[in-house]
Amino acid sequence: MSVLLDVRNLVTEFRSENYSIRAANNISFHVDRGKTLGIVGESGSGKSVTSLSVMRLIPNPPGKITNGEILFSEKDGSQIDLLKISEDEMRGYRGNRIAMIFQEPMTSLNPVFRCGDQIIEAIQLHQNCSYDEARERTLQLLREVQLPRPETMIDQYPHQLSGGQKQRVMIAMAMSCSPDLLIADEPTTALDVTVQATILELMRDLQRQREMSMMFITHDLGVIAEIADEVIVMYKGNIVEQGSVLQIFEDPQHPYTKGLLACRPRLDKKLRILPTVRDFMEETADGTITEKAHITVTEKIDEVAFSADDIHKRLQELDKRKPLLRVENLQVHFPIRTGLFSRTTGWVKAVDDISFDVKPGETLGLVGESGCGKTTTGRAILRLIEPTGGNVMFDGRDVRTMDHKSLTALRKDFQIIFQDPYSSLNPRLSVGSAIMEVLRVHNLYENDKQRKDHVMYLLDKVDLLPRHFNNYPHEFSGGQRQRICVARALALKPKFLICDESVSALDVSVQAQVLNMLVSLREEFNLTYIFISHDLSVVKFISDRIAVMNAGKIVELDAANEIYEQPKEEYTKRLIHAIPTGTIEVIKNRGKAA
């Protein structure tokens, strides 16, 4: 097997007046022709910096490649060091011989140009052809990436496409010059599991058809199992383990790899808590990593798993309780307005006549693809969106008939945690001020000293430090910002929380920590949750029952284990089938198919 890309002793640093960080610390790896190298690790591990170093896209300042070789094989077998050629020469490789798909397609596409024109521009930049030839080639690419109605899509703007469609446009653009190496940086992270599955299948098919090499970057080892041949695991700029995908999954050697494998929510077992990386390793102040008491991933999973009797007893206990929330025939319809006078010509039935109960202390999972009505349901219950019809009864009170004053008082008992913690927080308010503001609005406690004491208590409950009181949102990681939003939601001592995709954008390791925290808080404060997500594995972990939504309706509602083990609806089966399981059987079967 010949090597296409050979990276040797790469060092990429970011420097400021006060500090210097090695984001890629003397790392070496290679990518074989026609194979996929998976690069996995948490945010900040150096995955994206490594890919940007290969493309020579590190912003300087503050970043700089200070050492190493990046050897790229030419068609005649010779090698060229990409770090030693001029910027003009590098442009001949970038986008032509080496292409890249970025994590967020909306920010990668220019919003003021049509999608087709952006692909045409890339083709004309690297290939000697006319506009008409480039347009015909673009149409062929859009068909190849299975974009519906390519003749229409070619003239549409990015905002007119869904997330999955935009990602297909980015893949088409990357494929436009038939690159030898495709670098995919978290290309499926923000997508529904069903859309993710189709994108992964598409990328595998394109790779086989074109005999292309690929670097696939992700934090999810489940995705790695679906697509990679070789794997490197990165932690704080270092490669801590590398080997074939089967070796990594069958016999992981480094405790960090074991932690990443263990912290993914399971579909085959119901767990009390999710294992985390810290269950497998300890790190000293100088960065030395030591393994905790030797334990395999399987042994750790078995240690924290519920028995069937435990699950049955909890469901029986919940069943005896009177509902805290009762939703009856809830409807949310949005008008379709057309013409000069914006006449209503139809209705979008975002939520279409759904009913369910939630018992005190229960977690009801609400799962489905984007656009199925999950978020609209959550917001309509809180009357952040006004329902079109139906009833919402909370703790014996009719939410739909309340006036503004009564509704404000009710929201002390009824809180929501939004999907994007950064846009949920005021960037001009410190964390402490943001949480204290909630207490002032509801006139809780006699003075600000008492309010600050309560905020300090809440920060401790969500595993943040007292010094974080004076920090601003931009100074925190995504996981920390989500903890702040949880603390703010708990400030009023609510009975009920709606968690709207509250962990979907987080690394699996950080996701595990936040999910464990939500379970712990539920038990400590006797909270009741509606947990909204497109990921059935996450919902199964935290939920007692699951409601599956499709096109505004609940198509299936049952105990979490029953939904997975005996799904009745074809739509539910499709959701389950789309989840990347990351099992050894999947890897072996993929090897046989290849």
What is the tens place of the pLDDT at every residue in 145-193?
Answer: 888 888 988 999 988 887 778 888 888 888 888 889 999 988 877 677 8
User: Helix or strand or coil: residue 37?
Assistant: strand
- For residue 592, pLDDT over 80 is answered with no
Work out the mean pLDDT of the chain and round it to a whole number.
89
Residues 6+ away with beta carbon under 8 Å from 74: 80
Tokens describing residue 432: 């402490």
Mean pLDDT calculated for residue range 372-391: 93
The pLDDT score that the predictor gives to residue 591 is 64
Per the model's pLDDT, the better-predicted residue between 343 and 383 turns out to be 383
Structure confidence at residue 1 (pLDDT)? 65
Residue keyed to tokens 């598409």: 202
Identify any residues that bridge with 296 across adjacent strands, giving them in sequence order. Answer: none
What whole-number distance in Å separates Cα of residue 38 and Cα of residue 340? Answer: 53
3-state secondary structure of 410: helix
The rounded distance, in Å, linking the Cα atoms of 171 and 34 is 17
Inter-residue contact 14 to 20 (CB < 8 Å): yes
What string of DSSP letters covers 73-142? E-TTS-EEETTTS-HHHHHHHBTTTEEEE-S-HHHHS-TTS-HHHHHHHHHHHHS---HHHHHHHHHHHH
Tokens of 478: 């995504």
Tokens matching residue 92: 């001949």
Asked whether residue 594 carries a pLDDT value surpassing 60, the answer given is no
Report, as an integer, the average pLDDT of 436-455: 91
Which pLDDT does position 289 carry in this prediction? 86
Residue 563 pLDDT level (bands cut at 50, 70, 90): very high
Model confidence band, residue 593 (pLDDT cutoffs 50, 70, 90): low
Percentage with pLDDT > 90 across the chain: 50
CATH 3.40.50.300 location in the chain:
312-413+494-581
Task: Write the DSSP symbol of residue 492.
Answer: T
pLDDT score at 233: 95
Name the token pair of 480.
């920390």
Is residue 8 pLDDT above 90, yes or no?
A: yes
State the CB neighbour count (10 A cutoff) for residue 496: 21
CATH class of 312-413+494-581: alpha beta
Question: pLDDT band at 52, cuts 50/70/90?
Answer: very high
The mean pLDDT value for 370-393 works out to 92
* Residue pair 434/484 in contact by the 8 Å Cβ criterion: yes
pLDDT in tens, 471-527: 998 888 777 888 899 999 999 999 999 999 888 767 888 889 889 989 999 999 899
Exposed e or buried b for every residue in 244-256, given b needs 16+ CB within 10 A?
Answer: ebbebbeebebbb
pLDDT confidence band for 288 (50 / 70 / 90): confident
Q: Is the pLDDT of residue 198 over 60?
A: yes
Rounded CA-CA distance 560/539 in Å is 8
Distance CA 214, CA 174 (A): 12
